Chain A
Amino acid sequence: MTDREAAVRLAAIEARSVSKVFTGFRQDSFRALDRVDVTIRENEFFTLLGPSGCGKTTLLRLIAGFDFPSEGEILLYGKDIAPLPPYKRPVNTVFQNYALFPHMTVAQNIAFGLEMLGKGREETAARVDEMLKLVRMEAMRDRRTSQISGGQQQRVALARALAPRPKVLLLDEPLSALDYKLRKEMQVELKRLQLETGITFVFVTHDQEEALTMSDRIAVMSAGRILQVGSPRDIYDRPSERFVADFIGETNFITGTVKGFAKGRAEVALPGGAVISASVPEGHRPAGTVTVVVRPEHADFTTTAKEAALRGRFDHAVFFGTDTHYHITLADGAPFILRLQNDTTDELPLTRGEAVMIRVAPGTAQVVRD
């Protein structure tokens, strides 16, 4: 999708300078959200990504209406939803622990929201059938929620939240309780549901892999603030903050000195003397000592001194099946990891302490804010 298309798409949710402060008994307060601005577009799979305590769940609860912002406003299709209680917001939630009603069957759980909206008996029944089919749970319709597995509960929770056709679906770490294999399956399933229903998904997770594989756009959060918003590729290839680069994927941080800056690119002198060109986050003017990020898969060994961006000593190698990680200590003592695919070559015959030269793929280095 191009930027122009994106601009045409409606904004489903807009948070405008939203803060949330929790005040404890002894007047000690905690700022869970700090002037957050974000726009979530219609029909997109939007992920709030961050470590626990970063405020991602708080933001979700503000959208759902379980909590109210201390400052700022939240707009749903341009309308301020602050005065609406949760049961008047056309927004549904898939809870972390699913929160299925234990005294109802699968079908009754799914029908609940429709009944509360005052839908007729036939319409409700038809919609429940449709939802059961959508999540492939037809056979389980009359089971108690305690009689089905975790993955099945997950599907019921999804069906229940989708049944009233919400404008926005909020998902609060819905996959965290599932085991690895099931989680992979549900990731695909969630993506399919989002494409089939065309509903805007706001997905909260601390799992960067989950975020990268499923999202249209990701907002990386830390300590109550949104650090960067962008497509998975943007976030991965062009992190703007040290935290973002560190949180998502494996990264090498190299300390360098800015030699020149023009048109969003900086000439940075790396330890060892070589100068490379690195891209710079929008609006940032680097100067003096900066941190440069190089992903392990964007580096390679070289034998020609002219290509070498970095020099160091080989430490050890770790075999990962599809690829091998080579741990290197750079000239200034910083660690560096280099990843090579194990397609044709055997493990390189390096010995501990051996001097190596490292090439960085052109255009991949990135200057980040500290």
Chain B
Amino acid sequence: MTDPSAPSAQRVIDEARARDVRSRWLLSAPALAIIFFAAIGPLFVVLIYSFMQKGDYGDVKPWTFSTDGWFNVLFERDLFDDTLGLAWANLVIFWRSVKLSVITTVVTLLLGFPTAYFISTRPEHRRDLWLFLITIPFWTNLLIRTFAIQEVVRNEGIVNSALIGLGLIHEPIQIMFTDTAILLGMVYVYLPLMVLPLYASMEKIDFRLVEAGYDLYATRFAVLRRIIIPLVKPGIVAGSILVFIPSLGAYVTPKLLGGGKNMMLGNLIELQFGQGRNWPLGSALSIFLMIIVMAALLVYVRNASDSGGRHG
């Protein structure tokens, strides 16, 4: 006979489990609090602001409701005859943002892949040194680095002076304040974010698989396409996400290298909270940016896992 007052095994297990859950909540409470107050809370404020009327000198009119902010993301009324039209200025900026972000992602991938491959094929004790070198740009403030790029690409800058000095060109090439300059800046800034995840998954590859590929009549290109790339795919996905998202919302780089004409989404949003004095539109644009990012991610990740499935 078992003692009825003794706790059954099931009850002991349940209690232990409950204790475990409690302690986990307690441990994660600080992080959850920060996420709530610093991220979700403000985001909620932005969402509410996007549905209010704009104030005359910025801010919003309290306790009012309006969909103007959202309306103005894509459309605008003509100032004189009040006809409805698409907000072409905004659309051009959306297009430029997406285009430059996609190109940045592709270029960093093309540059980062061989870099990561190089590092992961070094002897183990030397890889740390190479990784350390990759992170050097992070030591300096982004603003200063961007000014440095300005110095390189501007009309009187290093590149143009050198080309003119060599007699290759007579007029300076206009790089500053073009999409090319923005692209250059973003590729430079985000390249490490691509290299690090690529390295992380490349380092795990058993290079005997590469030998096995060669042994089974695969050429270098076939080994790359059929063995290395599929195995590095998690790194490619992670790196692309890490580069694409901040590129889409980039602010400093397009501001300093693109000038006033070549705005990206981040600059457009800033404009609404500053000179534009249209906080609801700024808020709506911010949420809109988030939606674009989420949609892009969803499509990208789904495609990536699909093709993974097909190849096995």
Q: Which residue numbers of A lie inside 8 Å of B, CB to CB?
A: 64-66, 85-88, 91-93, 95, 97, 99-105, 108, 112-113, 116-117, 144, 160-161, 164
B211 touches A113 (CB 8 A): no
Closest residue of chain A to B215 (Cβ to Cβ) is: A93
Contact of A164 among B209, B217, B231, B312 (CB under 8 A): B217
Residues of chain A contacted by B208 (CB below 8 angstroms): 95, 97, 99
Q: What is the predominant secondary structure among interface residues of chain B facing chain A? A: helix
Closest residue of chain A to B205 (Cβ to Cβ) is: A102
Residue B222, interface by CB 8 Å? yes
For the complex, give the distance between the alpha carbons of A320 and B216 in Å: 45
Interface size class of B (residues with CB under 8 A): 20 to 34
A86 touches B312 (CB 8 A): no
Closest residue of chain B to A172 (Cβ to Cβ) is: B208
For the complex, give the distance between the alpha carbons of A28 and B231 in Å: 36
Residue B11, interface by CB 8 Å? no
A87-B217, A116-B216, A117-B217 are known contacts. Are A95 and B211 too (CB-CB below 8 A)? yes
14 contacting pairs across A/B (C-beta < 8 A): A66-B211, A66-B214, A88-B217, A101-B213, A102-B209, A102-B231, A103-B230, A103-B312, A104-B311, A108-B312, A112-B213, A112-B218, A116-B216, A116-B217
Residues of chain A contacted by B81 (CB below 8 angstroms): none
Residue B124, interface by CB 8 Å? no
Residues of chain B contacted by A88 (CB below 8 angstroms): 217
B216 touches A160 (CB 8 A): yes
Residues of chain B contacted by A65 (CB below 8 angstroms): 214
For the complex, give the distance between the alpha carbons of A112 and B230 in Å: 14
Residue B219, interface by CB 8 Å? yes
Residue B212, interface by CB 8 Å? yes
Contact of B212 among A85, A91, A95, A103 (CB under 8 A): A95
B137-155 vs A: 1/0 string, CB under 8 Å?
Answer: 0000000000000000000
B212 touches A116 (CB 8 A): no
B215 touches A104 (CB 8 A): no
How close is A296's CB to chain B, nearest CB, in angstroms? 40
A66-B211, A95-B212, A116-B222 are known contacts. Are A101 and B217 too (CB-CB below 8 A)? no
Known: A97-B208, A101-B227, A104-B311. 17 other contacts (CB 8 A): A66-B215, A86-B214, A87-B214, A87-B217, A87-B218, A87-B219, A93-B215, A95-B208, A97-B206, A99-B212, A101-B213, A102-B231, A112-B216, A112-B218, A116-B218, A144-B312, A164-B217
